[in-house]
Chains A and B, each alone.
Chain A
Amino acid sequence: MSSKTAASLLLPLEVDSLCFRVERDDLLKDISVTVDSAGITGILGPNGAGKSLFLRLLHGLLEPASGEIRWHHRRLDKTIRRRQALVFQKPVLMRRSVAANIDFVLNSSTRSRQRRDEVLQQAGLYRQRSQPARLLSGGEQQRLALARALATEPEVLLLDEPCASIDSATTLQIENLLQETSARGVKIILVTHDIGQARRLSDDVIFMHDGRLLEYQSATTFFDSPSSPQASAYLEGRIVI
């Protein structure tokens, strides 16, 4: 199965009048968008814009209050989620060795030492394979979380600020890994508030502000001439309220 075709199998992503609220707080308001392009989609916006929530809804970890999410014209369900993987901002690693963390997500039919070692080598963690995962440095932990996500061979990879609290060398490693992954045809949706990272990686950009989706543009258009005043303010480094 070629990954390239696999990714396109889950596209397009259609979001239709999506709302999410906690108690009476509307945290996401009437979001509609259609993403049909392969490559890397960056979700950008200031803190509290609702980016992480939106990502969780796309993955089906949260239920929308109203509206609908469809991947390849099908409503989001477990079978679709199984074809995706999400990397959290703070990696949740199990209290086991590095290798055992990978083994856990390889399902019993595909589990093989070879596959695991491959993934670890890709992430530059092969040498540490028998170390306790929770003794790794912050950057290594995030690489392991990413490696574990990739081990499941997702067609769509969702990432929530994967480089929020790690050093620049690791950030570079992760960005390279993401580009390789994207090149293999895996659709990537990346939440970040690092404008530089979004510039380096994104093919297209979703800009969110205060629970609303304000823009969906190709990266070039967005960074050169954002259409909303909030986005221009954000890109200029002004505080956006």
Chain B
Amino acid sequence: MRLLVKNTLVAAALTILGSGQAWSTDTSIIVQSTTSTANSGLYDHLLPMFTRETDITVNVVAVGTGQALKNARNCDGDVLLVHARSAEEKFVAEGYGVERHDVMYNDFVFVGPPTDAAAIASGMSALDALARIAGSQSKFASRGDNSGTHKKEMSLWKETAIDPTRGSGKWYLETGSGMGATLNAAVGSGAYTMTDRATWISFRNKQDFEIQVEGDDALFNQYGIIMVNPEKCDQVKREAAQRFVDWIVSDTGQAAIAAYQLNGQQLFFPNAR
């Protein structure tokens, strides 16, 4: 028994020291990322190729864009891959990031139950759809978490001049959670919601929900990549991070993004310049 305790103690110490050590080698970087790229399986497709080429391990922390930006501001990451252009530009302007590159795009869609109480599934624009949802007080699940998707949704509401938060808790449901959790909530309560197409295609709990609004230019969804500024965060692995950014926007990386399909559908469209 005493021996057991002693051994475990030693093991515990080794675990703590060991894992700290493993991490400080230069061959791994941390990417603070939006969830859609992770949940849709894009990274599982891309990262093995990158690692094979460069021997750099990429550790992805998939949180909402808002959280990813915040974590990167704390220097807790080497690269940022998110989708909220103005927030990204602000991040760079404030000196936290080195430079922002476009990576790829897809689009947002509105999904909802087939009953379609607000009658939005007839080729209507995103703004009209939102206005009808608010007008009929049909349930709408919002991320409410400052993520890229949430920021986009709020900018659309702003254009409709409707303040949905007045219906908060009644028909406007702010989940404060990730896209997947919000989709689960929407499906569970028969509410409309807005999601990026990649997450929707890869989402497995759709039940009878359908895409009801799509194809509106206003629903464009641009992803960007930024290396965290080593001047601000001296622990950023400058070289490895730069290689990852370069690879993503390179022809090889872009082709790999374009090649990724789920259920026969392309999820992301590369557009780096």
The reply, when asked whether chain A contacts chain B directly with Cβ atoms under 8 A, is no
